[in-house]
């Protein structure tokens, strides 16, 4: 009976999701239904313990703090000055405005860790500037979508805060593990833009206007623009990587830092603070509901003998460890077309990590691969969430077809990053070992 329950849990979950029921409720319904069939009234004790585990998980306290930080950062007035400073230095480079936008996405991804906030904020600043310079619409689309997706793979990252406890990994190790792959991916994006705009200058017409500012004035302006986000990045990643704070404490430091910056920039108002708090509560409630539902679902799955059945199925097909890894990553990629990143983590990781561990695979290395694949799925048509974010802020003249075409080269860059991490695992595991000795 238990094996039959395990076999039908995932098809039932997918059916509920396709019926339009929110993911959190779909997982809860599946967990309650199959759990009652398997355990009867005893299920109540198991689910209560799951609620207690989530409610007392200290690491998850970083989620609302990171979201609050991103929300304030979006309104703090730092972005305009920073984009102007970056574009001032890149304006003579082929595709200079696009490169400035990607640099800004990288900086803001490292400052907030919230994907949608980064893409929306940078897009609202960079799209009008690139449209004014008659940049190719597909290039604009790919730049904003690709840059916005970096929030998944550059620390701090909210998906990492959710994934690490489930994978039984220290959050600091996983944040350190994604740093080099994230910076590598950002570099590949920038290199692609520079090369394609050098080959085809009509994609990004150069800026012919003369900048009358002296070199000293440029240095001063740039320093004033970069210091605030640099300070914010240090308060989060610096305190975390130096061992001065836990992830939750680092997020608290970042929240305090971004409040100070908003006050310095004279953007802090009661209205702004209230909007940020309401957005934080809304997004946090959604994420934690999914986390709780995922915990309930995985608890019923494992208690019903799910891992034994999964291994039996894999042995029946005679899959090698590499084949299993490919199947898991492909499943995560396909799930990205229909559900959000956090939900994929909650559905796949509880099953994937015990499997890869049984094959002797480093769970840290696998988790980095998993995050790169999630980011690729986030960018891939036809159901790319990044394109939906872009559609909300882009002018009507940028069509959906141009968006789909524009993201393809950036997906290729993501796949190159994935291949590099597969071939050279030290890209993902060297920094955590050096910093923490694990």
pLDDT recorded at residue 143:
92
**In this prediction, what percent of the chain has a pLDDT beyond 70?**
91
Long-range pairs of 208-217 with CB within 8 A, sequence gap ≥ 24 = 211/88, 211/91, 213/88
pLDDT recorded at residue 244:
80
**Per-residue pLDDT for 379 more than 70?**
yes
**Per-residue pLDDT for 3 more than 60?**
no
What values do phi and psi take at 70, rounded to 5? -65, -35
For range 200-209, the mean pLDDT: 81
Neighbouring CB atoms inside 10 A of 235's CB total 23
Q: How far is CA 112 from CA 187, 199, 346, 402, in A?
A: 19, 34, 22, 28
Q: Which helix (H) or strand (E) holds 50?
A: helix 43-55
User: Could you read off the pLDDT of 396-429 as tens digits, one per residue?
Assistant: 888 888 888 999 999 999 999 999 999 999 999 9
In terms of average pLDDT, the best of 94-103, 115-124, 381-390 is: 94-103
Number of domains in the chain: 1
What is the dihedral angle through the alpha carbons of 389, 392, 397, 400, rounded to the nearest 10 degrees? 50
CA 161/CA 95 separation, integer angstroms: 34
**Per-residue pLDDT for 204 more than 80?**
yes
Q: Please, which pLDDT band fits residue 369 given cuts at 50, 70 and 90?
A: very high
pLDDT recorded at residue 24:
80
pLDDT recorded at residue 1:
47
CA 74/CA 162 separation, integer angstroms: 22
Q: Please, which pLDDT band fits residue 271 given cuts at 50, 70 and 90?
A: confident
Which of 411, 394, 403, 378 has its CA nearest to residue 115?
Answer: 378
137-146, 223-232, 297-306, 340-349: which range is least confident on average? Answer: 297-306
CA 16/CA 212 separation, integer angstroms: 61
Find the helix packing angle between 270-303 and 23-39, rounded to 10°: 30
Q: Which domain holds residue 308?
A: 2-436
**Beta strands per DSSP E along 222-365:** none
Q: Could you tell me which residues come within 8 angstroms of residue 292 by beta carbon, excluding any fewer than 6 positions away?
A: 24, 28, 50, 51, 54
CA 360/CA 146 separation, integer angstroms: 33
**Per-residue pLDDT for 120 more than 60?**
yes
User: Could you read off the pLDDT of 63-119 as tens digits, one per residue?
Assistant: 888 888 877 877 777 777 788 888 888 877 888 889 999 998 888 888 766 666 677
CA 415/CA 193 separation, integer angstroms: 16
**Per-residue pLDDT for 270 more than 80?**
yes
User: Could you read off the pLDDT of 4-21 as tens digits, one per residue?
Assistant: 566 777 788 888 878 878
Average model confidence (pLDDT) across the chain: 82
């Amino acid at each position: 009976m238990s094996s039959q329950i395990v076999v039908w849990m995932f098809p039932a979950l997918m059916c509920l999701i396709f019926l339009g029921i929110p993911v959190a409720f779909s997982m809860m319904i599946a967990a309650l239904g199959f759990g009652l069939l398997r355990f009867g009234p005893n299920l109540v004790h198991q689910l209560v313990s799951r609620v207690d585990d989530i409610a007392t998980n200290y690491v998850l306290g970083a989620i609302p703090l990171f979201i609050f930080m991103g929300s304030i950062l979006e309104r703090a007035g730092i972005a305009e000055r920073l984009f102007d400073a970056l574009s001032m230095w890149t304006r003579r480079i082929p595709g200079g405005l696009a490169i400035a936008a990607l640099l800004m996405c990288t900086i803001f991804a490292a400052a907030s860790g919230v994907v949608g906030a980064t893409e929306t904020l940078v897009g609202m600043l960079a799209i009008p500037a690139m449209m004014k310079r008659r940049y190719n619409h597909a290039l604009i689309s790919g730049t904003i979508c690709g840059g916005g997706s970096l929030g998944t793979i550059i620390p701090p990252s909210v998906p990492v805060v959710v994934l690490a406890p489930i994978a039984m990994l220290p959050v600091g190790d996983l944040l350190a593990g994604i740093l080099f792959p994230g910076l590598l991916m950002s570099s590949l994006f920038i290199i692609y833009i520079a090369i394609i705009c050098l080959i085809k200058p009509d994609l990004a017409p150069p800026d012919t206007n003369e900048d009358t500012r002296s070199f000293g004035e440029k240095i001063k302006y740039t320093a004033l623009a970069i210091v605030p986000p640099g300070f914010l990045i240090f308060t989060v990643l610096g305190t975390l990587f130096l061992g001065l704070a836990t992830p939750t404490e680092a997020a608290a430091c970042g929240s305090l830092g971004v409040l100070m910056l908003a006050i310095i920039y004279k953007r802090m108002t009661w209205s702004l603070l209230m909007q940020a708090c309401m957005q934080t509560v809304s997004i946090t409630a959604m994420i934690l509901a999914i986390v709780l539902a995922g915990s309930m679902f995985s608890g019923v799955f494992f208690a019903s003998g799910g891992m034994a059945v999964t291994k039996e199925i894999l042995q029946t097909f005679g899959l090698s460890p590499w084949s299993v890894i490919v199947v898991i990553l492909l499943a995560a990629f396909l799930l990205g077309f229909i559900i959000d990143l956090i939900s994929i983590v909650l559905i796949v990781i509880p099953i994937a990590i015990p499997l890869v561990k049984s094959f002797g695979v480093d769970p840290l290395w696998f988790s980095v691969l998993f995050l790169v694949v999630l980011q690729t799925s986030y960018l891939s048509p036809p159901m790319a969430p990044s394109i939906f974010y872009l559609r909300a802020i882009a002018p009507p003249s940028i069509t959906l077809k141009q968006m789909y075409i524009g993201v393809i080269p950036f997906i290729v860059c993501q796949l190159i990053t994935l291949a590099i991490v597969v071939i050279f695992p030290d890209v993902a595991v060297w920094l955590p070992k050096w910093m923490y000795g694990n």
